[in-house]
Structure 1
Amino acid sequence: MELSNYYYTAYGLAIGSEIALPQLTEIQPTTVDLTIKREQLPASPPLHTTKVYRSGLNAQFARNDSDNLWLDWSPLMRFLAVDGHHLTLDTDQTDEELLALFTLSEALGLILFQKGYFLLHGSAIQLNNKGLVFLGLPGAGKSTTVAAFAQQGVPVLSDDMVCIRFDEAQKPLLIPAFSQIKIWESAVEGLQLDKTSLTPVREGLTKFSWHESVAFAEEAVPLERIFVLEPPDGAEPTPKQVSKSQLPIELLNHFPLPDLLLTGQSLKAYFEKSAVIASSIPLFKLNRPANFAKLHEFVAYLKTTL
């Protein structure tokens, strides 16, 4: 067993890490599924611009013929994902908070992608042992919606990146990530959360992490429903179901990693898994509740109907 400084669990994986990742649940030293280490990386293949941003930095992406994946946030740090088992971080940074912020993001997503998981840019909760996913463009209110459920004691499954795997019967299951919701100060105030129980996030001076008192689901749950949040339109937020034929395109629009990952066989596999989801899971478009009172009404509605 390779020795690491820290041992954690997240996304159903046992992780051995050279860097501290305090957002994760610590476990006893064990044989791990993933090792995270700091090491100087070789030069990458040609880099390509992505849609991925973190702390205002636009990441670049590269892959080689062996399907090793680079995510480059130069001059801050660079990552290399290999075989779904090894994530290497190359940086001079020593700030543990900053290291964890970048590692527990799309960098870890590369490992999940290599493991064959189905990924979405969104947030998820466990409601009555069923999994609900909220998708949307940045600022759509995904994390705020999940935080409103968490206020009512509803366990959180993930925030920012949703991880889905399929069981032997090809039923989609939501995999728990780790106990954290990142929300803007306006949402903290609107939800009337106690700011003293939150910690500032390096992504923005007015963004906070809520993790210590959040109820967190530790077991995978069946995916039950997907919502795509859209801007409020002044009317009552009424879910409108998307046709099964359109669902794969909707899911593709919310892929959280560099688009260049989805080519050839990977793109084919993504659409095949989308079709499996479409066969049994409804997806609804929903105009975001216009204010926090309406949001609480939406939470109460779902809690009594699912």
Structure 2
Amino acid sequence: MSYYYRAYGLSIVSDFLLPPLPAGPPATVTDLTIRRGQLPARPSFVGSKAYRAGINAQFAQTEQGDLWLDWPPLISFMALNGNELIVDTTQTDDQVISLFTLSEALGLILFQKGYFLLHGSAVRIGNEGVVFLGEPGAGKSTTVAAFAGKGSRVISDDMVCIRLSMTGDHQLIPAFSQLKIWESSVIGLQLQQESMTPVREGMDKYSWHESIAFEEKAVPLKQIFVLLPPNEPGRVDSPLPSSQVPVELLHHFPLPDALLTGKGLKDYFEKSVALARTTPLFRMSRPADFAALHTFVDQLNAIG
């Protein structure tokens, strides 16, 4: 049985149920096929920074450009030509398969398609998109949840996908309707916990996807914020000089660093330079308490 979905602007046909993606009718053209299969003999793997369910992923790539991601012994992926993702697993739990598929594994396909990727979250403010980057625990999802609580449309959570333009009219490609936030943030932001479901990655983390306002069309990219440790009352620094932006963005690449060698590194750096020419990047310290964060969101909404 096949299931049909849409995420990151791609028409997807899958052998697996992929919650929380809403199933739809078959598309005229399929951009990505996700199928079950037994992978061939494995190449040499290297470690990566990707963790899911407490398991560290191993990464490999072949001379033909095939990309492998392996979470032993649970599940393995191979991305082919930007249009096929082979899944090798004995897992039967749809939630578990979806957790691993709709993360770095799908990111491999987006990378092969030439999109510019960042580990972060994005939200629409007015008619434009704003990206929030930061180290794990910096509050990317919490900040976006604060905007969503005020009615702003979420564009993506965890991985940001950017379609670059030669004219500088870069666009954020919507991911899918889900925002994963800690229970403390749900309570602090006074969100409706009953409209969320627990995340398999942790008992104190929730998935907000059914009642969230989600953007379904590409949104012009306005600016990027790198979140710093929170303080009172919160501040936004002056834009980073454009010459420093490419180095900053390298720190927020969401996929295995082994992809950024040789031609891959050259390509990513050139795209970073193109992005820096037209998109300001700010360092932002969000407020330390939730009440002040609501006020801070109102201020940024007013600017937008």
Q: TM-score range by the shorter chain?
A: over 0.9
Q: Which position in structure 2 is the counterpart of 1:305?
A: 303
Q: Please point out which of 8, 31, 35 is paired with 1:11.
A: 8
Could you tell me which of 129, 132, 135 is aligned with 1:131?
129
- The question of whether the paired residues in 1 share the 8 Å contact of 2:129 and 2:219 is answered with yes
Offset, 1:168: 5.4
- Which residue identity lines up with residue 230 of structure 1 in the other structure? L
| 182, 188, 191: which one aligns with 1:190 | 188
Hey, what does 1:28 align to over in structure 2? Answer: 25
Q: Which structure 2 residues correspond to residues 1-306 of structure 1 after superposition, within 5 A?
A: 5-30=2-27, 31-167=29-165, 169-306=167-304
* CA-CA distance at 1:264 after TM superposition: 1.2
Q: Is the 8 A contact 1:240 1:286 kept in 2?
A: no
- Tell whether the 8 Å contact from 1:120 to 1:161 is kept in structure 2 after alignment: yes
**Is contact 1:37–1:87 with CA below 8 Å preserved after alignment?**
yes
Q: Deviations over 1:80-108 (max 9, x none)?
A: 00000000111111111111010000000
Where does the alignment leave 5 or more consecutive residues of structure 1 unmatched?
A: none
Local SS of the residue matching 2:142 = helix
CA–CA separation in structure 1 for the residues paired with 2:118 and 2:249 = 7
Paired letter, 1:27: G
Say if 2:168 and 2:278, in contact at 8 Å, map to a contact too: no
Q: Deviations over 1:261-285 (max 9, x none)?
A: 0111111111111111111111000
CA RMSD, aligned part only? Answer: 1.1
Secondary structure of the residue aligned to 1:267 is helix
Residue identity matched to 2:26: P
CA distance in 2, matches of 1:209, 1:77: 22
* In 1: Cα distance, 2:194 partner to 2:5 partner: 26
Determine if contact 1:8/1:14 at 8 Å carries over to the other structure.
yes
Q: Secondary structure at the match of 1:26?
A: coil
Unaligned residue ranges in structure 2 (runs of 5+): none
CA distance in 2, matches of 1:135, 1:168: 24
Shift of 1:188: 0.8
**CA distance, structure 1, for counterparts of residue 42 and residue 171 of structure 2:** 34
Look up the equivalent residue of 2:43 and give its one-letter code: P
Alpha-carbon offset, residue 25 of structure 1: 3.5
CA distance in 1, matches of 2:25, 2:274: 36
Letter in 1 for 2:69: L
Shift of 1:235: 5.0
- Shift of the alpha carbon at 1:26? 2.7
Give the counterpart letter for 1:146 in structure 2.
V
Q: Conserved in 2, the CA contact under 8 Å of 1:123 and 1:158? A: yes
CA distance in 1, matches of 2:170, 2:42: 35
Confirm or deny: 8 A CA contact 2:164 2:275 kept in the other structure: no
**Cα distance, 1:234 vs. partner?**
3.9
How far, CA to CA, are the matches of 1:113 and 1:169 in structure 2?
A: 21
What is the identity percentage for the equivalent residue pairs of Structure 1 and Structure 2? 60
Question: Residue 48 of structure 2 contacts residue 257 of structure 2 at CA under 8 Å; is this kept in 1?
Answer: yes
Within 2, Cα distance between the matches of 1:112 and 1:232?
A: 32
- Deviation of 1:129 (Å): 1.1
Letter aligned with residue 109 of structure 1: G
Query: 1:157-179: CA deviations, max 9, x gaps?
Result: 00000000123534211000001
Q: Give 1:154's aligned amino acid.
A: S
Structure 1-normalised TM-score? 0.97
Q: State the aligned residue count.
A: 303
Q: Secondary structure at the residue paired with 1:108?
A: helix
CA shift, 1:236, in A, is: 3.5
The answer to whether the Cα contact below 8 Å between 1:10 and 1:25 also exists between their aligned partners in 2 is no
Q: 2: CA distance between counterparts of 1:196 and 1:233?
A: 30
Q: Which one-letter code corresponds to 1:103 in the other structure?
A: T
Q: Is the 8 A contact 2:82 2:112 kept in 1?
A: yes
